[in-house]
Amino acid sequence: MGKTDTVIFDLDGTLINSLEDLRVSVNYALFGFRYPKQTLEMVRNNVGDGIEKLMERSLPQGRDNVNYEVCLDIFKEHYKTHMSINTKPYPHITETLVALKSRGYKIAVVSNKFDVAVKPLCKKYFSNLIDVAIGQTKDTNKKPAPDTVYIALDELESTSDRAIFVGDSEVDIQTAKNAGMDCISVSWGFKTKEFLKQNGASIIIDSPLEIFNYI
């Protein structure tokens, strides 16, 4: 990792704790149909694969539910205007990003959250610290496909052999592998350290500042 000049981060569970706002918007979508509410722990287990999967896992009968598309649309509209009420960066994230920038590292965010949420959240919480922010769109394959990682690398004029991926889930581990780069897994996110180990994590850090031990 000594030649690293680019750090690509996942967003939810890695840079920001967004669980409560996600839970509120999911339950807002479910409420009109009187479906069972989702707890914070349920949402924690359901995130990571994009909002389509989040809603599928939150609804009785999943995508076979006759109201799946309607609930998904309701969730999207509600979350767009409520996505930063309880959300906040994890401790030491901002100072880590500042330190990375001051040392000349290129920084990107690549997330399975929909793009129209990723960009404003990055701008709100991290201002000019993020060089490129990419979320899910209809035109790109979501993680663990490496497509959005490659887009970020192109925009940053970097390559896989000069980059590392930092994330909190098994999806991030697989994404890094598919993109041909190393992965640093974080223990403060939505998945447990034991779960990460079981899913192939080779490096797990307990504080954002530990990133500097590996780049």
Q: What is the pLDDT of residues 114-158, one digit of tens each?
A: 999 999 999 999 989 999 999 999 888 999 999 999 999 999 999
Q: How far is it, in rounded angstroms, from Cα 16 to Cα 10? A: 9
pLDDT 10s digits, 171-194: 999 999 999 999 999 999 999 999
30 and 92 fall within a common domain: no
Residue range(s) defining the domain that contains residue 41: 19-82
Could you tell me the pLDDT band of residue 3, with boundaries at 50, 70 and 90? confident
**For residue 26, is it within any domain?**
yes
- Of 67, 82, 97, the residue that ends a domain is 82
Active site residue 64: no
- Neighbouring C-beta atoms of residue 43, cutoff 10 Å: 23
**For residue 1, is it within any domain?**
no
- In the chain, what percentage of residues exceed pLDDT 90? 93
Please name every residue paired with 81 in a beta bridge, in sequence order, or none if there are none: none
Placement of tokens 């996505």 in the chain: 83
Number of structural domains the chain divides into: 2
Q: Prior bond to 60 cis, omega within 30?
A: no
Q: How far is it, in rounded angstroms, from Cα 111 to Cα 51? A: 11
CATH number of residue 39's parent domain: 1.10.150.240
78 and 94 fall within a common domain: no
CATH number of residue 191's parent domain: 3.40.50.1000
Average pLDDT for 67-85? 96
70 and 137 fall within a common domain: no
Count Cα atoms within 13 angstroms, Cβ side, for 140. 22
pLDDT at 16 over 80: yes
Query: Using an 8 Å Cβ cutoff, are 202 and 180 in contact?
Result: no
Per-residue confidence (pLDDT) for residue 106, from 0 to 100: 98
Per-residue confidence (pLDDT) for residue 1, from 0 to 100: 45
106 and 171 fall within a common domain: yes
- Of 82, 99, 131, the residue that ends a domain is 82
Placement of tokens 């701008």 in the chain: 123
Catalytic residue among 5, 10, 73, 161: 10
